[in-house]
Amino acid sequence: MQFHETTLPALARHFLEGIGLGWKQRNKLLANRQARFSRLAEHDDRIVAHIAGLRHVNGFDRQGAFGESNDEIISREIFSLLIRACETSDADGFMACAGLAEAMPHLHGAFLAAMDWVSPVHLHDVMKDWRIDSRLRRLTQLRLLADPRFDELNLTIDPPQTQAELRLLLRAARLRTRPDWVQETFDERIGSLDDDLQQQLCAHYLLFDSRCRKRVLQYIRERIASATAGMEYWTTLLASEPQGLGESLLRNLLELTGKTDRRYLVTLGWLGQSRHMPALIDALDSAEARIAGTAISMITGSIPEEDGWQVTAPENSAGRLPLPDKARFVSWWEENRHRFDSGVRYLFGCKREPRAILELLKETVLAWRPSAAWMLQRMNPACALDTEAPAFRQRRRLVNLESMI
């Protein structure tokens, strides 16, 4: 098909804006407590369609891609322009994006995220002149290391120089089941890292090194006991321990907390047993009602907004956990309690068994999928799933996991 010369810039602008806006919207979608994986798949299919469209409008002036808005380059523009450079083998365009992102570190996230959407062949073509060692180049290599599609690039693994590099290396080691890539010892680094990275390092050693398991679990218990803020992920690590240890650890944790304590309610949610429902229902009258409602969802898989036990606006502020209505939930529970065996541990409404969790990952809400994916991998370290990857790649991975369980 032949396009009129004035049509190409307009088409390119349309596709680029669709890619950039789609990516920004996607970041919010991944944390959505109502949207399910099927919605992410539909959203990602639109991004893929925009990328495909770019391949047919090569040859336009990239400097005019966003018109006057080029004066204020933002992350979504870097994301889409970088993809365009790769998909059209525009090495100069790629280097321009790399240079800008190198100079503006807040663009690193968008630059690295674009790597999930480009093909290895195209990326190899545009990266071959990027030979200067820089922080962004090291981060890019570590990001690519997590994706087996890029193995042909013969990426090197150097000791991480920054926390950002260690974060990406830990991610790659988990997704590729390559503990040998991480040389740091637990006690050597744990005290110098920020909270998020401490959690990732603990997860790495729980997953791959049974020799320091006891030490890591003790450290996690100390962190939970010392603070209430940000303890949800720490509790996730305890809850996922196999062979009954997770349940034992959580029960020990209950003894350290009061029944109105946020940690107590989160722990009940991770225990996943319906016999604790009376305590959670009582907490729906407390200041921690939102946390209690979340713990109920962790056990039952019920969503307040969908199942009719959410307090209506204005009490439910945008961006906050839903405020549950106690009377409405009690009514829902009376109708549905027969589905739950008091002696069984549940995760978002499904039994904590590998095949059940795999089915959960195919259909559950997006905000719950990272926890479910971690639980599955803790049962089998080779069963890693990147819940932030493009949906079409996640679909293929889910099919592969079927044969591994």
pLDDT per residue as tens digits for the range 197-244: 999 999 999 999 989 999 999 999 888 877 655 678 889 999 999 888
Same domain (yes/no): 297, 385: no
Same domain (yes/no): 343, 389: no
For residues 102 and 99, what is the distance between their CA atoms, to the nearest angstrom?
5
Residue 388 domain-assigned (yes or no): yes
> Would you state the pLDDT for residue 12?
82
Same domain (yes/no): 313, 387: no
> Would you state the pLDDT for residue 86?
93
User: Residue 209 has which token pair?
Assistant: 């090194």
pLDDT per residue as tens digits for the range 98-119: 999 999 999 999 999 999 999 9
Same domain (yes/no): 342, 372: no
Same domain (yes/no): 371, 346: no
User: Residue 123 has which token pair?
Assistant: 């990326």
Residue 195 domain-assigned (yes or no): no
DSSP helix/strand/coil, 178: coil
What is the DSSP secondary structure assignment for residue 324, as one 8-state letter?
B
Q: pTM of the predicted model, to two decimals?
A: 0.90
**Range of 103's domain?**
7-156
For residues 144 and 116, what is the distance between their CA atoms, to the nearest angstrom?
8
Same domain (yes/no): 327, 372: no
Residue 389 domain-assigned (yes or no): yes
User: Closest by alpha carbon to 332, among 360, 356, 310?
Assistant: 310
Same domain (yes/no): 278, 396: no
Domain boundary (134, 156, 178) is at 156
For residues 194 and 206, what is the distance between their CA atoms, to the nearest angstrom?
18
Same domain (yes/no): 272, 302: yes
Residue 30 domain-assigned (yes or no): yes
Cβ atoms of 277 and 299 closer than 8 Å: yes
DSSP helix/strand/coil, 346: strand
> Would you state the pLDDT for residue 271?
94
Residue 94 domain-assigned (yes or no): yes
Residue 37 domain-assigned (yes or no): yes
Same domain (yes/no): 264, 145: no
Same domain (yes/no): 29, 98: yes
For residues 185 and 95, what is the distance between their CA atoms, to the nearest angstrom?
36
> For the chain, how many structural domains are there in total?
3
| Under-70 pLDDT residues of the chain | 1-6, 58-73, 227-230, 258-260, 313-319
Domain boundary (139, 156, 173) is at 156
Burial class (CB in 10 A: 0-12, 13-18, 19+), 272: buried
Residue 348's φ and ψ, nearest 5 degrees, are 50, 40
Same domain (yes/no): 142, 113: yes
In the block, which residue shows the tokens 């090291």? Answer: 138
> Would you state the pLDDT for residue 185?
84
Residue 62 domain-assigned (yes or no): yes
Same domain (yes/no): 151, 13: yes
Amino acid at 184: E
User: Residue 230 has which token pair?
Assistant: 């940000």
Helix 120-127 and helix 75-87, axial crossing angle in degrees, nearest 10: 100
Residue 377 domain-assigned (yes or no): yes
DSSP helix/strand/coil, 365: strand
The residues that bridge with 218 in the sheet, in sequence order, are none
> Would you state the pLDDT for residue 62?
53
Domain boundary (156, 179, 214) is at 156
